Structure 1
Amino acid sequence: MASRIALVTGASTGIGFEAAIALRAAGLTVYAGARRVEKMEPLKRLGITVMALDVTSEESMASAVALVEAAHGRVDVLVNNAGYGSYGSLEEVPLDEGRRQFEVNVMGLARMMQLVIPGMRTAHSGRIINITSIGGKIHEPLGAWYHGTKFAVEGMSDSLRLELQPHGIDVVVIEPSGTNTEWGTIAGEGLLAASGDGPYQQQAHIVAAALASTSGEGHVLSTPARVVARAIVRAATAKRPRTRYPVGRGAWSVLAMRRILPDRAFDAVFWNFYRRLAG
């Protein structure tokens, strides 16, 4: 694996940070990109190259891929991890924020793939690993923008899997449940800022509490980011990777429940669970 080159986006914290470490430990040469370069300083000590990377900037994305390709001639593994969760009622969240959510979670991911695919296609080899979420298969109130992006990435990844298969390129989806990162706290704060005092305030406080339950070891929905990172390594190194890797506490059971239950039954079960989490 020493000769394989991995590029990880959104690597300043959480899943991306742990994925960069785990891929390096597995023997890959790793480039880690994020806007907050200072957060990635510890990665340098592990032999990981860090770079500024903003997935809303064409110049930044093109420069990052060009840097890796200039050094190695290719990107073998792209881990599309950059993203965030924008929560709030559809009525109250400004359209500009909705556009930004899609720009980061979908369009930035798509552009990163556009940039690496030509080199992978020429090499007739490559692996694209898109970090979605069980949120790409299920839904929450006040999460229309976020879940819309994750459903989009799921569908895009499925289409690309068929599209790129003749060119020797695998497309894999990682579907984490709640992870013990800053993601849930930030998403919850944004939710309360958008809808915490208006007509949706009761729902907002319940959902914000559920999002917060992913923060801190031992919480019911909290899975360490390093667990997700291990799934990413498996996806990156398997000779024939699975198309999807649900990972984390409750991921398999929630997805199974979604497949089995009718929509309204799932709505009721899931909402009652969130209400219990909120106390």
Structure 2
Amino acid sequence: MAKNYLSESYSSVPSSLKTALVTGASSGIGKALARELFVKGYAVFAGARRVEEMSDLSNLGITTVSLDVTNKESIENVINLIKEQTGRLDILFNNAGTSCTFPVTDLKLEDAKSCFDVNFFGVIQVTQAAIPLLKETKGTIVQTGSVAAILPFPFGSIYASSKAALQQFSNVLRIELKPFDIKVVVLTVAAVNTNIADTRPLPQNSWYYEIEEGIQSRRSMAKDNAPMEPDVFARKVVPQIICSNPKRTIWSGRHAWLLWLLSLFPRFFVELIFYYKFQLAKLHSYKNKKNLSL
């Protein structure tokens, strides 16, 4: 018997209401976006693997559903539920994501694949399933991207690659869907206070063990720099998304303007800044002093 991926926390909603599906809505940005869209009058379907973490959304009247973006059956069940409940979809918010902040030399390939499964291939699956409904409403697809797709933050090569792939996928998708009046928006997210950071310790034989403090600094970079709260982020970006002609790319989050400016600098200059900021220069000095051979 096929597994039922839907939760029990949904009820009938008026089909006249504009409808939004938000993935990864159990915490952080996704939960805040679901609340803000609901406040703006949307019938919101909030999806996540941990349905119990969305009880506060359910109490507001938001429809919460179990959704695993890496599982095709789970996705199809949610899309079918939306068809049954409202018969329409105006906004798809691909927000589900996972972090992978680890040196390449210590990274397991299965962890890299898992990161891409959620951050990139999961987005493709959900988007493909939702496009027929979005076509009927001339709706909007919104992707939660990252400044990491643009700036080369050390120790985040896999996460950055998944977000860069998402960004280019969205750029091409925007052109392909233009004849059907479906809009595609990418949020370039800077510092927002979420719990997505990687917490795995480095192996003791890691080449980077001597600068683990620098890696931890990279992982906690958003939280350590007065990040924007998710509710503030949602209040800023939702009005820009639901307008009649949203921008292709929206930079938001604490220090977004500064990081945008940094992205305009010559790449060698940006790399030099990160080389020193995240203690890689210290590692080079330590290696020379200890005559280590890497």
Q: TM-score, normalised by structure 1?
A: 0.89
The alpha carbon displacement at 1:203 in A equals: 4.3
Structure 1 residue 196, shift from structure 2 partner: 6.4
Residues 119-152 of structure 1 deviation map (CA, whole Å, 9 limit, x = unaligned): 222x151100000111111121111110000000
Secondary structure of 1:83's match?
A: coil
Alpha carbons of 1:133 and 1:239: their partners in 2 closer, same or farther (altered >3 Å)?
Answer: same
Q: Which has the higher helix share?
A: 1
RMSD over aligned CA atoms reads 1.7
Give the CA deviation at 1:45: 1.6
1:87 is paired with a residue whose SS is coil
Q: Are 1:178 and 2:186 counterparts?
A: no
Task: Indicate the residue corresponding to 1:154 in structure 2.
Answer: 167
Q: Is 1:132–1:173's contact at 8 Å kept on the other side of the alignment?
A: yes
Equivalent residue number for residue 205 of structure 1: 213
Counterpart CA distance in 1 for 2:204 and 2:256 is 28
The match for 1:269 is 273
2:133 alignment counterpart: 119
Greater shift, 199-208 or 89-98, is seen at: 199-208
Partner Cα distance (2:82, 2:271) in 1: 45
Question: How many residues are paired up?
Answer: 264
| Greater mean deviation of Cα atoms: 220-229 or 125-134 | 220-229
2:249 corresponds, among 238, 244, 248, to 244
On the 8 A contact 1:177/1:251 being kept in 2, the answer is yes
Cα distance in 1 between the residues matched to 2:137 and 2:53: 35
Cα displacement (A) at 1:53: 0.4
| Structure 2 CA distance for partners of 1:25 and 1:196, relative to 1, 3 Å | farther
For 1:56 and 1:132, the matched residues in 2 are separated by 18
Note if contact 2:237-2:252 (Cα within 8 Å) is conserved in structure 1: no
Shift of 1:18: 0.5
Distance 1:59 1:202 in 2: 45
After TM superposition, list the pairs within 5 Å mapping 1:2-41 onto structure 2: 3-41=17-55
Higher CA-based Rg: 2
**Would you say the 8 A contact 1:77–1:129 is kept in 2?**
yes
Mapped contact 2:45–2:64 kept (Cα < 8 A): yes
Aligned with 2:180 (options 145, 167, 175): 167
Q: Deviations over 1:25-62 (max 9, x none)?
A: 01111000001100000001211000100111111111
- Name the structure 1 match of 2:87: 73
- State the alpha-carbon separation in 1 of the partners of residues 92 and 99 from structure 2: 21
Taking the aligned partners of 1:98 and 1:167, their CA distance within structure 2 comes to 34
User: 2: CA distance between counterparts of 1:162 and 1:274?
Assistant: 38
The gaps in structure 1 that reach 5 residues or longer are none
Is the 1:177–1:221 contact (alpha carbons within 8 Å) kept by the matching residues of 2?
Answer: no
Q: Please tell me whether the aligned partners of residues 172 and 235 of structure 1 are also in contact (alpha carbons under 8 angstroms).
A: no
**Cα offset for 1:205?**
2.5
Partner secondary structure for residue 183 of structure 1: coil
Unaligned runs of 5+ in 2: 1-15, 280-294
In the aligned structure 1, how far is the partner of 2:96 from the partner of 2:41? Answer: 23
Structure 2 SS opposite 1:269: helix
